[in-house]
Amino acid sequence: MQKRKLGNSGLEVSALGLGCMRMTYGDAPIGDKQEMIAFLHAAVERGITFFDTAEVYGPFTNEELVGEALEPFRGKVVIATKFAFDIDPETGVNHGGLNSQPEHIKRAVEGSLKRLKVEAIDLLYQHRVDPNVPIEDVAGAVKDLIQAGKVKHFGLSEAGAQTIRRAHAVQPVTALQSEYSLWWRKPEAEIIPTLEELGIGLVPYSPLGRGFLTGKVDENMTFASNDIRSKSPQFTPEARKANKVVIDLLDSIAAQKKATPAQIALAWLLAQKPWIVPIPGSRKLERLEENIGSVDVELTPDDLREIENAISQITVQGNRYTEEQERMTGL
């Protein structure tokens, strides 16, 4: 597995990470715990060293799973987790909304440290920007935690360019986690130039468009009520039918490269910048191995131009989130 560094921080991780959320949270069926532990071990064996979780996934159950599974590999893997939601650190009750008050951050981190079974969190993200707490206060709280040896690196998620700059001025930001893929390219306008200027890495989540870019989601597929796609405007049957042109493009390039559409979508992301590390989520070994294969797919400048020319003529139908969900991002 190739390695990459997240910006100028020196934090080195595998070129692909692994999003762990769906192992315990989200759409049914949730994975069997022992199967998921074995799966995480298999990921490490195949060279994955970067794992993504959050206290809100459960709450708490995802961190507990990741902590237990990766304890034997302590010091050999990088675990990223997140705070930001108004979750009682003792009971796990989610009161809804955001809470990035400095004292709440520090209490949340104590819980994450115990669940992850580590002495310091490798990468701590603010999961969503809290409009009620100045980002300077958030960065200051994480700076305190770094100085106390409880956190190693600071990250933001779905933050806008000015928020990133303000936070970075207080405590250097190692990475921004944000949605980015062939069919969600909004970060290219302001976010990516800002990250490049400041030396911050980008960790794209949903790099396969919540499964759509694998080519395995058609207009006839139905989703469980607790599947985020069941409420996504991008996943109405009409939008899926209209957006099939994106899959047709990936299919044609995949055929040339003897790859799969998912591998082309991930290879395209990897080719954008050397400090981009996608974190596709997976619970199946064959999907994990398929995703890892993307690291060896070489897209030439001509390939990238062909993709760019074709995708620029496609308008993806439907927003990625509902209006309420989008308001919780800082973009």
CA distance 112 to 55: 7
Alpha-carbon distance of 157 to 21, in angstroms, equals 15
Q: Which of 25, 57, 180, 205 is catalytic?
A: 57
Cα 200 to Cα 79: distance, rounded to the nearest angstrom: 18
The rounded radius of gyration (Å) of the Cα atoms in the chain is: 19
| Three-state secondary structure call for residue 109 | helix
| Structural element, H or E, at residue 169 | helix 161-170
- Decide: 51 and 74 in contact? Cβ < 8 Å: no
Count of alpha carbons within 13 angstroms of residue 146, beta-carbon side: 19
User: What's the CA angle centered on 220, arms 214 and 222, to 5 degrees?
Assistant: 85
205/287 Cα distance (integer angstroms): 16
The whole-angstrom separation of Cα 138 and Cα 126 is 8
DSSP 42-81: HHHHTT--EEE--TTTTTTHHHHHHHHHHGGGTTTSEEEE
- The verdict on whether 57 is a catalytic residue reads yes
What positions carry a catalytic annotation? 57
